[in-house]
C-alpha cells in the first residue's frame, strides 16, 4: 500500500503565537509576517511548542490504498 509522508510548510507556537514558514531556497524555517508586514516573533523567553502532530497530519493515502496526489 502506498503512503505519502508530507512535511509542514507553516507552524505556529501554541503558547506565544510565533509563526514561521518553511523556505525551500534556504531549507530553513523563517519568521512569518502578518498582513501589515510585521514579523510575528512571539515571546523571547518562550520554548516554542509546535503542534505538528495535532492538526497537521503528515500521512496521506488515496481511496484505493495508494499514494495520494500532492
What's the pLDDT tens digit per position in 28-45?
999 999 999 999 999 989
**Sequence-separated (6 or more) residues with CB below 8 Å from residue 30:** 20, 21, 22, 23
Distance CA 10, CA 48 (A): 14
pTM of the model: 0.69
Spatial CA neighbour of 16 closest among 46, 36, 38:
46
What's the pLDDT tens digit per position in 1-24?
688 888 889 999 999 999 999 999
Q: What is the pLDDT of residue 13?
A: 93
Amino acid at each position: 500500500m502506498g503512503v505519502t509522508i508530507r512535511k509542514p510548510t507553516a507552524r505556529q507556537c501554541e503558547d506565544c503565537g510565533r509563526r514561521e514558514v518553511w523556505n525551500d531556497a534556504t531549507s530553513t524555517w523563517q519568521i512569518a509576517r502578518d498582513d501589515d508586514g510585521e514579523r510575528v516573533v512571539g515571546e523571547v523567553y518562550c520554548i516554542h511548542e509546535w503542534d505538528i502532530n495535532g492538526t497537521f497530519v503528515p500521512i496521506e493515502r488515496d481511496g484505493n490504498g495508494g499514494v495520494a496526489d500532492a
